[in-house]
Amino acid sequence: MRAPSPTPLLQARAITVRFGGLEAVGNLDMAIGRNAIHGLIGPNGAGKTTVLNVLTGFVRPTEGELVFDGAEIGGIGVNGFARRGLARTFQNIRLFGAMTVLESVLVGAHQRFSANALSLVFGRRAARDAEAAMIARAYELLAFVGLGAEVADRVATTLSYGHQRRVEIARALISSPKLLLLDEPLAGMNAVEKAEIADLVRQVRAQGIAVLLIEHDMQVVRRLCDHLTVLEYGRKLADGPPEEVLADPAVQAAYLGRAR
Ligand SMILES: Nc1ncnc2c1ncn2[C@@H]1O[C@H](COP(=O)(O)OP(=O)(O)OP(=O)(O)O)[C@@H](O)[C@H]1O
């Protein structure tokens, strides 16, 4: 007997986002599998970041429904999404000017568990222990993303661009997400750095965390992703395995027809 196919980790149903008169996303259905590296691609302005913003609670859809890990998650706010297990990075790196690398990673933990809430639930001593455990976890994650402990006390914004991206990924991972959403994690990188981050994405998935990523480099997308959703003008143009989707004449026309 065949095992029933597992339900997707995240299901977006009939999502529409309007900004005033502009429909940025129209009637989008999308499912992200539990062990997926899922690529979200499409020409500039197609609505990719808007979708990622919807899936992480940063933008509330005008219409539609989101089901994550079996529960409807509409209207629970950004922190609610983080608590449920969704974590993200941004297209433009968002690290705070004066913070060290270690502090920048810990910000991700505090988004999920505030120190006050911890001490209310567990008492001060336990909250201090929890804080110490999180610092230990932050060091582990820095190693996981390929940064040594020696960078922990440096001001994060003084690191190279590629290393700042890694800090952002560590910050997202410290909230122990089930789904990590990356908005153009390879932007501005050379081929070697891209291959390193692609490897890191595979290692994230090997930890049992699903990944959604927005990416423009089709060679990387083809090799890294096991599923693609293509958007054009806010609508779903294609959805399926990369080889199939990238061979689709409609997808090729969308890329050829518009400058990236
Ligand atoms: N907050 C907003 N207010 C008004 N319009 C917006 C807003 N955010 C996005 N848009 C518009 O929605 C459309 C989709 O934008 P979005 O950034 O989601 O596309 P994208 O596919 O991520 O593009 P890119 O590849 O250039 O990053 C664009 O026309 C954009 O100008």
Maximal C-alpha separation, the chain: 61
> What are 203-206's contacts with CB under 8 Å, separation 24+?
203/144, 204/169, 204/173, 204/180, 205/35, 205/36, 205/37
Domain extents for the chain?
A: 1-85+177-260, 94-176
CA distance 190 to 181: 21
Residue 2 pLDDT? 57
ipTM above 0.90?
Answer: yes
Task: Give the residue whose CA is nearest to atom 26 of ligand 1.
Answer: 44
CA distance 2 to 197: 36
Ligand 1 center to 235 CA (angstroms): 13
Ligand 1 center to 25 CA (angstroms): 9
What is the mean pLDDT of each successive set of 10 residues along the chain, which is 260 residues long? Answer: 74 96 96 96 95 94 95 84 90 81 88 58 71 91 94 93 94 95 93 94 97 94 96 96 94 71
Residue 147 pLDDT? 95
Is the Cβ–Cβ distance between 177 and 141 less than 8 Å? no
- Fold of the domain built from segment(s) 1-85+177-260: Rossmann fold (3.40.50)
Residue 113 pLDDT? 58
